[in-house]
Structure 1
Amino acid sequence: MPHPDTNIILIGMPGSGKSTVGVVLAKRISRNFVDTDVVIQTAIGRTLQSVVDNEGYLELRKIEEKILVGLSCRGHVIATGGSAVYSDAAMTHLKRNGLAVFLDVRLATLKARVRDYTTRGLAKRPDQTIDDLFAERFALYTRYADLTVHCDALTHEEVCKQIEDLLAAPPSPLTRTM
């Protein structure tokens, strides 16, 4: 297990289970939990979808970066928004005191889990399909991931167990995956 001050940062597509797994994992390993989408919405006093609808996806990414770069916590489980990985500054800040865990879920599974992405506050171009967004973000998730858990056939509890097992394993110079 990493040092108690080290944050566990969950990254992945919307629908990958970051928020739910984050709550369960935080309970299992006795840490506080932060959902950055909630932090953003509380800070700006409105929904992510409202920002996308009124100011566009780039404005949402700008707001998200500002909030994430200003986030200061230690020893937490942090569920990031799916677009957090677009900001190198935000990810560098988060990883300064944390390990990024990529919750890897196949596109078909995501589509089955989230039937309507139009209400999720996705920071994507209006012309961009979910398939395109998935391909674009997958490269970013793998770039920033310290650990990867393949979550398709797993329950939330099983995902947490895999994360715990990876965190307990001896450090490796390579990204660990299960």
Structure 2
Amino acid sequence: MKNIVLIGMPSAGKSTIGIILAKVLGYQFLDSDLLIQEQEKALLKDIIDERGIDGFLAIENQVNSEIDAVATVIATGGSVVYGKEAMEHLLKNGIVVYIKLSLKTIADRLGNIKQRGVVLREGQNLKMLYEERCPLYEKYAHITVSGENLNTEELMEKIIEEFHKIKEK
């Protein structure tokens, strides 16, 4: 059974939706940010502080490209799309779902961007990050689902509906 891989901006709801999706579908749930923290024995923000952004991205790419799962909902970190090997691996082993939200919604939800361990380069703001990443999310997604103005239940139903359409092909 194919995995469902959730991608999108930080605070798009990948982990929250992922847990519920896994329960509803009878899948396992895996949060790749937690795998990174477990492997490195450190919080994401601390890894970024200690290793720098490029060091963090290399670890994220390595961890995501080694995920060995079946019938699992995988919630990825927002920066996973920078890792070519990781994305090739995830595309091969799952249906990639991009949870799309407006910049305003992301900004409203995000709060303290540094505490979240968000990969922001020197001089980069949230708008710049959003504009840089959205084309990558769209490039890799099998399915794009707008989460705008949807509650968790509605978003989950939309993802399941789209997933079943693709699965049947």
Given the two structures, how large is their TM-score scaled by the length of structure 1? 0.91
After TM superposition, the structure 1 = structure 2 runs for residues 1-178 of structure 1, keeping only pairs within 5 Å, are 5-169=1-165
C-alpha offsets along residues 56-76 of structure 1, whole Å, 9 cap, x if unaligned? 111110000111111111110
Separation (CA, whole Å) in 1 of partners of 2:166 and 2:10: 30
Separation (CA, whole Å) in 2 of partners of 1:6 and 1:168: 11
State the SS of the aligned residue for 2:74: strand
Q: What amino acid is the match of 2:155? A: V
State the SS of the aligned residue for 1:117: coil
Q: What amino acid is the match of 1:163? A: I
Identity %: 36
Separation (CA, whole Å) in 1 of partners of 2:111 and 2:165: 36
Given the two structures, how large is their TM-score scaled by the length of structure 2? 0.96
Separation (CA, whole Å) in 2 of partners of 1:170 and 1:99: 8
**Number of residue pairs aligned between Structure 1 and Structure 2:** 169
Separation (CA, whole Å) in 2 of partners of 1:170 and 1:89: 23
1:170 to 1:87, Cα distance in 2 relative to 1, 3 A: closer
State the SS of the aligned residue for 1:119: coil
Displacement after TM superposition at 1:126 (Å): 2.1
Separation (CA, whole Å) in 2 of partners of 1:171 and 1:40: 29
Stretches (4+) displaced over 4 A = 170-173
Separation (CA, whole Å) in 2 of partners of 1:170 and 1:90: 22
RMSD after superposition: 1.4
C-alpha offsets along residues 94-115 of structure 1, whole Å, 9 cap, x if unaligned? 1111010000010000111112
Displacement after TM superposition at 1:38 (Å): 0.4
Q: What amino acid is the match of 1:53? A: D
